[in-house]
Amino acid sequence: MFFFTLHSIGLRLGEGLQLQVGDLDAQRMRVLVRDAKGNRDRLVPLLAHTSEVLRELWKEHHNSVLLFPSRQKGPVDAVSAATQIG
């Protein structure tokens, strides 16, 4: 789910790890990416299919802050995520 989201929204690894539930705007179909390249925030389009997939994911973990929490409910470490890529 995480890598699907990175690809469909066009995020860098670190940007995806920082995503918070509140960064998604399903009504306007966009995502706020905080501290993107150059330490600037940016808005990117959110595809309808990606929005549905993320809604289902959130129903499973119910984390009120992080979109992709670790098993301990905190942020995922970038090294751990990069290891999954290979």
| pLDDT over threshold 90, residue 71 | no
Long-range contacts of 75-79 (CB under 8 A, 24+ apart): 75/17, 75/18, 76/2, 76/17, 78/13, 78/14, 78/17
> pLDDT tens for residues 14-64?
999 999 999 999 999 999 999 888 889 999 999 999 999 999 988 888 878
CATH superfamily of 2-85: Intergrase catalytic core (1.10.443.10)
Integer Cα distance of 84 and 79 in angstroms: 9
Query: Lowest mean pLDDT: which of 30-34, 66-70, 73-77?
Result: 73-77
- pLDDT band at residue 73 under the 50/70/90 scheme: confident
- At 1, list the tokens: 């789910």
Residue 63: per-residue pLDDT: 75
What phi, psi does 63 have (nearest 5°)?
Answer: -75, 125
| 36: β partners | 40
